[in-house]
Structure 1
Amino acid sequence: MASIAAYIGAALAEIGGCFAFWAWARMGKSIWWLPLGVVSLILFAWLLTLVDSDAAGRAYAAYGGVYIAASLFWLWAVEGVRPDRWDMIGVAICLIGAGIILLGPRTA
């Protein structure tokens, strides 16, 4: 359960950090969005270290599915664009893959 919370927090921090740069570069927002973006990206990196995994690469690979789901949530909640059925099918496939990577039995 702690890993899931870390993944969700990491995804929101990464998307928020990247969006801060997007807002500055593409939406004409104040340069003060950039320090907020940097802090958010640092938080993202730290949160990923809290995931219960024996290998960083495996933790990052599983995170990819969570990031995709969080990105579609951001699309809907922040940008006001409702994900369509193809978005939802794609995210379901990604989350299944992330679950297999994170929860699959490992041999020593």
Structure 2
Amino acid sequence: MTAWNPGGQRQPDAMNRRAAQQLRLAWEGAAVPVVNGAAPWAEDALLLPGARLREAAVLGRQFGQAAALWGTGRRVALVWIGPEAVSVERCWAVPAGPYTGSP
């Protein structure tokens, strides 16, 4: 989960850092710092172990995100967060590296 660049609109780094800190305070569970994306759009983000899909959607909406990545085991979902509704695209996660042809 990231709080950077709400609505896909680039924000000053100071605003993004403040939003990231607010996200960390909003999540009461354990969090693992990660990086979302790649340069020039690399953003500080948090991996939120134990977060439920609904919690991911609520946090994403609270911080102006268009989507959040949520997963459990080898299943992941891209959670699209609209102004009034949430939609979910589910898929399998596969390890990085050469594709072996089996999920």
Is the structural similarity TM-score above 0.5?
Answer: no
Greater RCO, CA 8 A, separation 6+:
1
Q: Of Structure 1 and Structure 2, which has the larger fraction of its residues in helix? A: 1
Return the index of the structure with the highest Cα Rg: 1
TM band (smaller chain): under 0.3
TM-score normalised per structure 1: 0.27
TM-score normalised per structure 2: 0.28
